[in-house]
């Protein structure tokens, strides 16, 4: 599997679309528009944060299971990022340390490479692609896609949450060691709006895929 990572508004879904079309593979998406917990979370992060993380964990395991069978199937968010998002919520006092510890233990247990079925499920990606964007680009993308519950004008506290999250993502990627990885500069290569930038990004990923012998 090729798995995308990056902060809110980085362009993960757009790059997932590009990669699946480019490779002729299947794409698997994060549950957002059909997520009944997400709008509640933005209304009250402290109340719904733990529930949201468990909802996402369950859905991401579904994506991992469904993506088996091809090294070039694409998932639009890594399961490993959710702990970072939840830790950021906790750092703002909107979740407890106990909730974070329980979630971390649950994630670790679910990611154990244990097979209870006739066919093993490979849970680690063949390649993780991290889209790095600046804080300004992140805010502009969030505003452009127009989801009301994500807009900082509706909740001033979201500004600090987004800023902290963006700052922590680079540290997260630096420490990530579960699989081969590649960073794409989403400011330099605006693959969402620029066809030439999209072609450049696909060429970078093609080279990494070839180096890893995935195609």
Residue 65 is assigned to a ligand binding site = no
Residue 153 is assigned to a ligand binding site = no
At CA 156, angle to CA 146 and CA 58, rounded to 5? 60
Residue 143 is assigned to a ligand binding site = yes
* CA dihedral sign of residues 84, 85, 88, 93: negative
Residue 188 is assigned to a ligand binding site = no
Catalytic residue among 62, 66, 76, 206: 76
Residue 157 is assigned to a ligand binding site = no
Residue 16 is assigned to a ligand binding site = no
Q: Which of 59, 76, 97, 99 is nearest to 25 (CA)?
A: 76
Q: Which of 181, 173, 172 is nearest to 87 (CA)?
A: 172
> Would you call 177 a catalytic residue per the annotation?
no
Residue 88 is assigned to a ligand binding site = no
Residue 37 is assigned to a ligand binding site = no
Residue 92 is assigned to a ligand binding site = no
Residue 81 is assigned to a ligand binding site = no
C-beta separation of 59 from 53 below 8 A: no
Residue 6 is assigned to a ligand binding site = yes
C-beta separation of 30 from 36 below 8 A: no
- DSSP assigned state of 212: T
Distance CA 129, CA 151 (A): 26
Q: What is the DSSP string of 152-194?
A: TTT-THHHHHHHHHHHHHHHHHHH--SS-EEEEETTT--TTT-
Residue 69 is assigned to a ligand binding site = no
With 0-12 / 13-18 / 19 or more C-beta atoms within 10 angstroms meaning exposed / middle / buried, residue 211 is: exposed
Which parts are annotated binding residues for substrate?
30, 42, 53, 77, 82, 150
Which residues participate in catalysis according to the annotation?
A: 76
Which parts are annotated binding residues for ATP?
6-14, 141-145
Which parts are annotated binding residues?
6-14, 30, 42, 53, 77, 82, 141-145, 150
């Amino acid at each position: 599997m090729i798995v995308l990572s990056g902060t809110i508004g980085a362009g993960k879904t757009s790059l997932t679309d590009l990669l699946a079309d480019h490779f002729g593979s299947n794409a698997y998406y994060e549950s957002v528009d059909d997520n009944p917990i997400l709008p509640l979370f933005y209304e009250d992060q402290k109340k719904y944060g733990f529930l949201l993380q468990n909802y996402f964990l369950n859905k991401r395991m579904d994506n991992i299971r469904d993506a088996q069978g091809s090294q070039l199937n694409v998932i639009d968010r890594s399961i490993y990022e959710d702990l970072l998002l939840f830790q950021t919520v906790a750092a703002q006092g909107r979740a407890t340390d106990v909730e974070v510890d329980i979630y971390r233990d649950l994630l670790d247990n679910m990611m154990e490479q244990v097979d209870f079925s006739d066919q093993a499920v490979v849970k680690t990606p063949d390649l993780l692609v991290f889209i790095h964007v600046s804080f300004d680009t992140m805010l502009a993308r969030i505003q452009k896609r127009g989801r009301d519950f994500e807009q900082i004008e509706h909740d001033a506290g979201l500004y600090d949450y987004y800023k902290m999250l963006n700052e922590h993502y680079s540290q997260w990627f630096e420490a990530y060691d579960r699989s081969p990885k590649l960073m794409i500069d989403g400011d330099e290569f605006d693959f969402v709006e620029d066809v030439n930038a999209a072609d450049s990004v696909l060429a970078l990923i093609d080279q990494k895929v070839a180096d890893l012998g995935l195609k």
